[in-house]
Amino acid sequence: MATVTYDHATRVYPGTERPAVDQLNLHIEDGEFLVLVGPSGCGKSTSLRMLAGLEDVNQGRIFIGDRDVTDVQPKDRDIAMVFQNYALYPHMTVADNMGFALKIAGTPKAEIRQRVEEAAKILDLTEYLDRKPKALSGGQRQRVAMGRAIVRQPQVFLMDEPLSNLDAKLRVQTRTQIASLQRRLGVTTVYVTHDQTEALTMGDRIAVLKDGLLQQVGTPREMYDTPANVFVAGFIGSPAMNIGTFDVSGGNIEVGPARLALPRDVAGKLTSEDNNKVTLGFRPESLDVTSESDASAFPVEVNIVEELGSDAFVYGTLRGPLAQKDDSVITSGAGDNQVIVRVDPRNVPMKGERVFVTIRPGEEHVFSAATGQRLS
């Protein structure tokens, strides 16, 4: 087992000016499950491939334990990688696929068989060892790919979107298996995904990237409760956070007809670049339906209601004076000018109805309108 350290690691692809990964500083503890997450093209897979040795490091260094592996060949890094597309040999049995890397390394046949059987038992693949990959389901093939990594007994597991090819139900089932397996083996794991739900449910810590830059590193709870900037706030959480830029007047944030008190410590952090505005974020689950008479309530006109059984979400438009100002556009996971509100699933409003909602005290997120950095 080992730690992993990115020390100002940078990757610039030939023919491009902007780095795919820019000055990445990240330390992963021994035995930790760290998830690299972000939108397509943010540099998460490139970061993983740099650690694997499949991409050059143009600047900076990468360490596995105390060993600088920046210029070490992939085969000598003592890592095992699980790919999105399984990468199994179709002409080999499950047992041969799982033990192939050991065979190439010259490991005795008896030891190979022992390791393969141990891994198959862990992954519930014992009865499939003599089958070919074509006779397996997608989830079983992914478990074979996992088994191939396990038998090598590496210092670090690298997983590049291993669940992307699975259907929704199997994805949920397999992600719990991977998380529990990693806990049992205690192997340092770096896991790449674009699915923030996977990140929140699987990782000990999450690292969010955007445009090759590390935005924030923290536990799932830290990322949910205290996102460092507007990008992280909008990316982490499902449904996505409602985020809008609003005027500040007389120590209050003006959200439609509502006046929300701006905390004094936050007001002191505003600069001239903010131009008396703040970016306010509030999650759908942080809103309460209330009455029109509440001074902190703002109206939302219902467009769509999603009923999910245990939950219901209203997708609506912010209404009232000042709500439609050009500089007060609000965005959410449903798009521009859309507010998402979690409501009682047994008492849902009708389409076209107007509901009044308030943000629960202490559950608002205030960011600088100029920089997007967290103020609250």
Q: How far apart are CA 338 and CA 269, in angstroms?
A: 28
The mean per-residue pLDDT over the stretch 243-265 comes to 88
Q: Which domain holds residue 270?
A: 241-368
Domain endpoint, select from 175, 206, 233: 233
Q: How far apart are CA 203 and CA 221, in angstroms?
A: 11
DSSP per-residue letters across 257-323? TEEEEPPHHHHTT--GGGTTEEEEEE-GGGEEEE-TT-TT-EEEEEEEEEE-SS-EEEEEEE-STTT
Domain endpoint, select from 233, 257, 277: 233
Q: How far apart are CA 315 and CA 322, in angstroms?
A: 20
Q: Is the peptide bond before 162 cis (omega within 30 degrees of 0)?
A: no
Q: Domain containing 284 — which CATH number?
A: 2.40.50.140
- 58 plus 201 within the same structural domain: yes
pLDDT, residue 9, reads 97
The H or E element that residue 23 is part of is: strand 21-28
- 30 plus 109 within the same structural domain: yes
- 354 plus 215 within the same structural domain: no
Position 375 in a domain = no
Helices within the chain (DSSP H only)? 44-52, 94-104, 109-122, 138-151, 168-185, 196-202, 220-225, 230-235, 264-267
Dihedral pair phi/psi, residue 174, rounded to 5°: -70, -35
- 197 plus 257 within the same structural domain: no
Range with the lowest mean pLDDT among 1-5, 141-145, 236-240, 324-328? Answer: 324-328
- 126 plus 183 within the same structural domain: yes
The HSE-up count of residue 310 (CA atoms within 13 Å, CB side) is 0
What are the E-state strand segments in 38-108? 59-64, 67-68, 79-82
- 222 plus 250 within the same structural domain: no
Confidence of residue 188 (pLDDT cuts 50, 70, 90): very high
The mean per-residue pLDDT over the stretch 94-122 comes to 93
What sign does the dihedral 21-24-26-28 (CA atoms) show? positive
Q: Domain containing 8 — which CATH number?
A: 3.40.50.300
Position 318 in a domain = yes
- 12 plus 69 within the same structural domain: yes
Position 165 in a domain = yes
Position 373 in a domain = no
The DSSP call for residue 229 is B
- 245 plus 193 within the same structural domain: no
Range with the lowest mean pLDDT among 45-49, 64-68, 85-89, 211-215? Answer: 85-89
**pLDDT tens-digit profile of 286-331?**
999 998 888 889 999 999 999 999 999 999 998 865 555 544 568 8
Name the burial class of residue 269, with classes exposed (0-12), middle (13-18) and buried (19+) by CB atoms within 10 angstroms of its CB.
middle
Position 376 in a domain = no
Position 178 in a domain = yes
Total domains in the chain come to: 2
- 53 plus 187 within the same structural domain: yes
- 101 plus 222 within the same structural domain: yes
Q: Are strands 59-64 and 4-11 parallel, antiparallel or unpaired?
A: antiparallel
Position 19 in a domain = yes
Q: How far apart are CA 103 and CA 78, in angstroms?
A: 16
Q: Are strands 258-261 and 252-255 parallel, antiparallel or unpaired?
A: antiparallel
Q: What is the mean pLDDT of the chain?
A: 91
- 38 plus 186 within the same structural domain: yes
Smallest CA-to-CA distance from 54 within 74, 39, 32 is with 74
Position 374 in a domain = no
- 245 plus 217 within the same structural domain: no
pTM for this structure? 0.89
Domain endpoint, select from 216, 233, 250: 233
Q: How far apart are CA 161 and CA 178, in angstroms?
A: 12
Confidence of residue 36 (pLDDT cuts 50, 70, 90): very high
